[in-house]
Amino acid sequence: MNKEQLMESARSMKERAYIPYSKFPVGAALLMKDGTVINGVNVENVSLGATNCAERTAIFTAVAQGYKKGDFEAIAVAGNTEDYLPPCSICRQVMAEFFSPEMPVYLTNEKKEILELKLKELLPYAFLDLEM
């Protein structure tokens, strides 16, 4: 699967987001090394702190399905934004837990352009050791 296909999967997930408070849908598509794509959406809660981002939803779903560190190939994140939509700091830290420092993170904007970063570029000073 190429990055455009992965991003389209993330974009298509936005409509499933549960966003009664922010009205800001986010979709994520996580490519596993075995070729499986696991999607996630943001799920809000009135307490805000209990809200879960699309990226973490996809990662946690992968873990629940039996995937482990080293099984992750790439992630695409899509929202309705003029500029590229980066993952929040909590999501970046969870990514550092499961992804290799070289793993591609694809971000998009409303023009459907794709920015490709490596995790180590997105989170250069992770709390955990990024060397796997």
- Which residue blocks in the chain are alpha helix, DSSP H? 3-13, 54-64, 89-98, 119-122
Binding-site positions for Zn(2+): 53, 88, 91
* 3-122 fold: Cytidine Deaminase; domain 2 (3.40.140)
Q: Is 55 a catalytic residue?
A: yes
Alpha-carbon distance of 130 to 124, in angstroms, equals: 9
Q: What is the pTM of this model?
A: 0.93
Which pLDDT tens digit goes with each residue over 13-56?
Answer: 999 999 999 999 999 999 999 999 999 999 999 998 899 999 99
Reading across the β-sheet that carries 114-118, which strands appear in turn?
A: 37-41, 26-32, 72-79, 104-108, 114-118
Secondary element (H or E) of residue 43? none
